[in-house]
Amino acid sequence: QFPFGRRLPCDIYWHGVSFHDNDIFSGQVNKFPGMTEMVRKITLSRAVRTMQDLFPLEYNFYPRSWILPEEFPLFVDEVRMMKDGDPSWKPTFIVKPDGGCQGDGIYLIKDPSDIRLTGSVQSRPAVVQEYICKPLLVDKLKFDIRLYVLLKSLEPLEIYIAKDGLSRFCTEPYQEPTLKNLHQVFMHLTNYSLNIHSGNFIHSDNVNTGSKRTFSSILCRLSSRGADVKKLWSDIISLVIKTIIALTPELKVYYQSDIPAGKPGPTCFQILGFDILLMKNLKPMLLEVNANPSMRIEHEQELSPGVFENVPSPVDEEVKVAVIRDTLRLVDPQKKKRKDVQQHIESCKNTVNVRYNYFLCYRCQTLEHVSEANEELLDAGPADRRECGGTPSPEAGLPSLCLKQVFPKYAKQFNYLRLVDRVAALFIRFLGVKGTTKLGPTGFRTFIRNCKLSNSNFSMASVDILYIDITRRWNSMGIDHKESGMCLQAFVEAFFCLAQKKYKSLPLHEQVASLIDFCEYHLAALDEKRLVCGRG
Ligand code: ADP
């Protein structure tokens, strides 16, 4: 902590809120630019919707959602149509104000006409979502899961998931929603911040009882009931990877704007909190992603009326301490330095005549050669804690990592979903001036021209109309007025339009994939030509 200002650059900057807490030119920051904006309820819903358009089956882990106020008429129409199609369908919806947290302003409705349109929706945009009526219950109570996920790097994508998480319980026995119980927050909302105020809240002094438990204790219960816990974990991993794949395209636009390539800047990592609800059939559903998950490991207890004391919370401690500790282990700047020195030594051994020393490897108990370059590092650690290869092991004595890598480990299964990432790469290429997040009309025209997308059926005048129509609509939604021009989401919509036009008969994801291939092919040819001309 630097209460009087920071003078020296740091290895790791641990920011409380967002990326923009300071001016930073090196090291690592624990936040990505734009993450707070990306996980807001409306932005997340939009990003997931784009993926649902492309891959409806793969992205069915997010409840059907509409964005208010702009999609209110669509919401009314679609619900009416679905009810007409199936008169037995008696849905419930949950309305969540954008940017809200801790259950703030959330309410349940049975009919679109129950939305509190007057004033609130206009002044406070929101998401209305299908309510999951049949959640899995434990001890007759609804609960959700908070899982911690480390996004270690955006490019290349590296994701880790904590092996254990928290289960946060409601404090009133659950009943399916009826007009009578819709308003009972202790029955329907699992937020800790709400349920703590219920007289029934039980502070846990061990990890498998009370209103907040470890997720592993729930898994044990489920496993003893014969549930397929392995499949559940694999579904959760898949949900996390797919959600991050939905977020990465826009995150990359923010990233290049805040940390332009080729200029000094930090790298980023971030711990995210995933809120997941299990349905009765054990299908995990994503509720939301938190960019700033609480890392508190104590709670307030009222000793006597009005007198509060902070007391340790063993459940929070067990889960959260491990997450922070392992995040630091994974991003440890010394680790990279050690690796670099190691590589240096490997190459030196073959080429340069280095002075050798010996040390005893504590693991395999053999004598190892170490070069001069490595001595300095070895001196940093206790002599009896040295590993083969010459590096001291500060990890020795620490528990095994609770954070498990899931990407790139499972990349092969998910890479086909990363289409919008490739569209974003095209968008970024044509942004032109570094530091912007929006594409101007000239940039859009250059994109069309360089990718050879204009022809007798699609004139440059039509290109301009497409640009103006889509840009105007996205900008009228009032998302970001700081810059004028076409945002990534608008570009993606224009790209999908072009793909549909060009490859009529294919399903949308194949149309988009074909157009990306087409564009990438022409841009590669152009780059080649420029290279040859440059050499000439
Ligand atoms: P907040 O950021 O205010 O906590 P959430 O989206 O996490 O908003 O919703 C608050 C709570 O409402 C969740 O913890 C969950 O218990 C409940 N909830 C949210 N969405 C749904 C849904 N679609 N179906 C059922 N319950 C939901």
We report the CATH number of the domain holding residue 315 as 3.30.470.20
Residue closest by Cα to atom 20 of ligand 1: 287
Q: Is the CB of 190 under 6 A from ligand 1?
A: yes
Ligand 1 near 191 CB (within 6 A): yes
Q: Average pLDDT of the chain?
A: 86
Q: Is the pLDDT of residue 386 over 90?
A: no
Which of 131, 147, 181 corresponds to the end of one domain?
Answer: 131
| CA gap 52, 64 in Å, rounded | 10
Label residue 101 by pLDDT band (50, 70, 90).
confident
Ranges assigned E (strand) in 389-462: 403-407
Q: How far is the CA of 182 from the centre of ligand 1 (A)?
A: 14
The count of structural domains within the chain is 3
The predicted pLDDT at position 199 comes to: 82
Ligand 1 midpoint to CA 145 (Å):
11
Cβ of 150 less than 6 Å from ligand 1: no
* Best mean pLDDT range from 327-336, 406-415, 429-438, 458-467: 406-415
Cα diameter, the chain? 84
Distance between Cα 221 and ligand 1 center (Å): 24
Mean pLDDT on 2-11: 77
Query: Could you tell me if the CB of 63 is within 6 A of ligand 1?
Result: yes
Using 50, 70 and 90 to split pLDDT, how confident is the model at 17?
A: confident
Q: Is the pLDDT of residue 410 over 70?
A: yes
What CA–CA distances, in Å, run from 118 to 20, 79, 105, 123?
A: 35, 21, 14, 9
Ligand 1 atom nearest 106 alpha carbon: 3
Question: Ligand 1: does its nearest atom lie under 6 Å from the Cβ of 106?
Answer: yes
Distance from the alpha carbon of residue 217 to the mean position of ligand 1, in angstroms? 22
Task: Specify whether 233 is located in the same domain as 253.
Answer: yes
First to last CA, the chain: 55
Residue 383: per-residue pLDDT:
36
Q: Is the CB of 28 under 6 A from ligand 1?
A: no
Query: Is 90 exceeded by the pLDDT of residue 295?
Result: yes
272: tokens are: 């995210």
Q: How confident is the model at residue 481 (pLDDT cuts 50, 70, 90)?
A: low
The answer on 427 and 297 residing in a single domain is no
Instruction: Specify the pairing of strand 270-278 against strand 28-29.
Output: unpaired
Q: Which of 109, 131, 124 is CA-nearest to residue 69?
A: 124
334 and 465 share one domain: no
Q: Which two tokens stand for residue 376?
A: 């300095």
In this predicted structure, the answer to whether residue 457 has a pLDDT above a threshold of 50 is: yes
* pLDDT value for 328: 95
Q: Are residues 297 and 325 in the same domain?
A: yes
Per-residue model confidence (pLDDT) at position 118: 56
Residue 274 shares a structural domain with residue 157: yes
Quote the pLDDT of residue 177.
Answer: 96
Indicate if ligand 1 lies below 6 Å from the C-beta of 144: yes
Residue of the CA atom closest to atom 15 of ligand 1: 189
53 and 68 co-located in one domain: no
State which ligand 1 atom lies nearest to the alpha carbon of 105. Answer: 3
Answer whether residue 370 is part of any domain: no
Establish if 290 belongs to a structural domain: yes
pLDDT at residue 347, as a whole number: 63
- If asked whether residues 166 and 288 sit together in one domain, one would say yes
Q: What is the pLDDT of residue 117?
A: 64
Range of the domain at 293: 24-59+138-301+309-338+400-413
∠ CA 9-14-15, nearest 5°, is: 105
190-205: average pLDDT: 85
Highest mean pLDDT among 56-70, 326-340, 359-373: 56-70
Confidence of residue 1 (pLDDT cuts 50, 70, 90): low
Instruction: Kindly state whether residues 406 and 463 are assigned to the same domain.
Output: no
Ligand 1 atom closest to the Cα of residue 135 is 25
- Using a 6 Å cutoff on CB, does residue 40 contact ligand 1? no
Q: Which amino acid residue places its CA nearest to atom 14 of ligand 1?
A: 190
State yes or no: pLDDT of 15 exceeds 60: yes
- The predicted pLDDT at position 346 comes to 67
Instruction: Give residue 165 CA to ligand 1 midpoint distance, Å.
Output: 17
Work out the burial of residue 303: count CB atoms within 10 Å of its CB; fewer than 13 is exposed, 13-18 middle, 19 or more buried.
exposed
Q: Considering the domain boundaries, does residue 202 fall inside one?
A: yes
For residue 521, the CA-to-ligand 1 centroid distance in Å is 44
Indicate whether 422 belongs to any domain.
yes
pLDDT tens column, 73-83: 999 999 999 99
pLDDT of residue 356: 37
**Which is more confidently placed, 169 or 124?**
169
Do 75 and 44 share a structural domain? no
Burial of residue 135 (number of CB atoms within 10 Å: 0-12, 13-18, 19+): buried
At 397, is the pLDDT very low, low, confident or very high (cuts 50, 70, 90)?
confident
- Is residue 12 in some structural domain? no
Is residue 196 domain-shared with residue 272, that is, in the same domain?
yes
pLDDT at 128 over 80: yes
**pTM of the full structure:** 0.88
Q: Of all atoms in ligand 1, which is nearest to the CA of residue 193? A: 4
Contacts of 327 (CB under 8 A, 6+ apart): 30, 150, 269, 271, 403
Can you tell me the distance from the alpha carbon of 270 to that of 369, in angstroms, rounded to the nearest whole number? 38
Q: Is-contact 151 270, C-beta < 8 A?
A: yes
Residue 386 lies in a domain: no
What's the mean pLDDT in 211-223? 94
Q: What does the angle CA 232 – CA 233 – CA 239 come to, to the nearest 5 degrees?
A: 90
Total residue length of the chain: 536
Cβ-in-10-Å burial (0-12, 13-18, 19+) of 362 comes to: middle
Residues 6+ apart with CB under 8 A from 461: none
C-beta separation of 187 from 133 below 8 A: no
Q: How far is the CA of 103 from the centre of ligand 1 (A)?
A: 7
pLDDT in tens, 343-375: 666 665 544 433 333 333 333 333 344 433 333
Q: What is the pLDDT of residue 482?
A: 67
Give the end of a domain, one of 382, 413, 444.
413
% of residues, the chain, pLDDT over 70: 85
Same domain, 31 and 175: yes
Q: Which protein residue has the closest C-alpha to ligand 1 atom 17?
A: 189
**Do 476 and 523 sit in the same domain of this protein?**
yes
* Substitution site in 48, 60, 94 for ligand 1 pocket (most atoms within 8 Å of beta carbon): 94
Evaluate whether 340 touches 239 at the Cβ level (below 8 Å). Answer: no
Query: How many beta carbons lie within 10 A of that of residue 471, not counting itself?
Result: 23
Q: Please tell me the distance between residue 474's alpha carbon and the centre of ligand 1 in angstroms.
A: 27
Final residue belonging to a domain, choices 361, 389, 413: 413
The CATH number linked to 518 is 1.10.238.10
From 61, 96, 134, 290, give the residue whose CB has the most ligand 1 atoms within 8 Å, as the site to mutate: 96
Tokens representing 511?
Answer: 């149309």
Residue 54 has pLDDT above 90, yes or no: yes
Atom of ligand 1 nearest to the CA of 290: 2
In a domain, 357, yes or no: no
In this structure, the residue with its CA closest to atom 27 of ligand 1 is 131
Cβ-contact 284, 235 below 8 angstroms = yes
Q: Is residue 199 one of the residues assigned to a domain? A: yes
Task: Verify whether ligand 1 is closer than 6 Å to residue 131 (CB atom).
Answer: yes
Instruction: Supply the pLDDT for residue 334.
Output: 81
CA of 195 to the centre of ligand 1 (A): 13
